[in-house]
Amino acid sequence: MRVEIRTPRLSDAPTYAAAVRRSTEHVGRWNPLEPDGLVDLVRRQGETLRTYLVFDIEDGGLVGCCNVANIVRGRFRNGSLGYNSYLPYNGTGRMTEGMRLVLDRCFAAESDGGLDLHRLEINVQPANEPSIAMAKRLGFRHEGYTPRMLFLQDAWRDHERYALTAEEWPGL
Ligand X SMILES: CC(C)(COP(=O)(O)OP(=O)(O)OC[C@H]1O[C@@H](n2cnc3c(N)ncnc32)[C@H](O)[C@@H]1OP(=O)(O)O)[C@@H](O)C(=O)NCCC(=O)NCCS
Q: Where on the chain is the footprint of ligand X (CB under 6 A)?
A: 26-27, 30-31, 83-85, 90-96, 124, 128, 130-131, 133-134
Closer residue to ligand X (CB): 49 or 73: 49
- Report yes or no: 16 and 35 within 8 Å, Cβ to Cβ: yes
Q: For residue 117, what is the DSSP state?
A: -
Q: Where is 148: in which H helix or E strand?
A: strand 141-152
Whole-number Å distance between alpha carbons of 98 and 58: 14
**Shortest separation between residue 31's beta carbon and ligand X, angstroms:** 5
Residue nearest ligand X, CB atom distance:
93
Smallest distance from ligand X to CB 95, Å? 4
Find the shortest distance in angstroms from Cβ 56 to ligand X: 12
* Beta carbon of residue 75, minimum distance to ligand X (angstroms, whole number): 26
> How deeply is 9 buried, as exposed, middle or buried, from its count of CB atoms within 10 A (0-12, 13-18, 19+)?
exposed
Q: Of the two residues 120 and 124, which places its CB atom closer to ligand X in the complex?
A: 124
Amino acid (one-letter) located at 140: F
Comparison of 14 and 93: residue with beta carbon closer to ligand X = 93
